[in-house]
Amino acid sequence: MNFITIIFILLIFVQNSLEGRGFKRIQVVGVKGKILCKGRNYGTTRVKLTNHISFRNISVMDSISSKKNGDFYVRGHHFGYYFIRPFLEIFHKCYHRGYQCYRKISIRVPADYIFKGPIIKDFYDVGTINLAKNGYQSKICSKPY
């Protein structure tokens, strides 16, 4: 056999071994914080923890409504081959009068808060988010649920 054939066969074995069950892993992430609108507690806001697998492939790991005082704790997990890229997404109507439209804020969760295994060792604390003063928002005119 020639050299190229041997390399090709080895690549097939390597690919099959990487796709085996032994390399799948569970990854967990948790985020906490508080939401304000115009300096006041802003409750019942939709908060999502999403995994941006690729540009168009986004999976929702968890979706909650914040408490009446604006506090939220969101946690999610993913079981797969690839590392997760979690984002916190907040959908709100603070300073927005549109009937069907929402404002969306996306915050990337740092890799230091992604843990292997089923236990979240530390929550990423985004602190207090004032929706009225946050400039990085997009407009969504469909249901965020």
Q: Which of 39-43, 51-55, 65-69, 77-81 has the highest mean pLDDT?
A: 65-69
The reported pTM is 0.76
- pLDDT of residue 17 exceeding 70, the answer is no
In the chain, domain spans: 22-140
**pLDDT digits 0-9 by tens, 75-107:** 999 988 788 999 999 998 887 666 678 888 999
Q: Which one-letter amino acid corresponds to residue 145?
A: Y
**Average pLDDT, whole number, for the chain?**
83
Residue 5's CB is within 10 A of a number of other CB atoms, namely: 9
- pLDDT of residue 22 exceeding 60, the answer is no
Cα separation, 66 vs 51, in Å, equals: 20
Average pLDDT over residues 2-7: 79
Given pLDDT bands bounded at 50, 70 and 90, which one contains residue 62?
Answer: very high
* Helix ranges restricted to H, the chain: 3-18
Q: What pLDDT score does 96 carry?
A: 66
- pLDDT of residue 9 exceeding 70, the answer is yes
Query: Whose CA is closest to 15, among 81, 80, 78, 79?
Result: 81
Q: Which class is 22-140 in CATH?
A: mainly beta
Average pLDDT over residues 18-31: 76
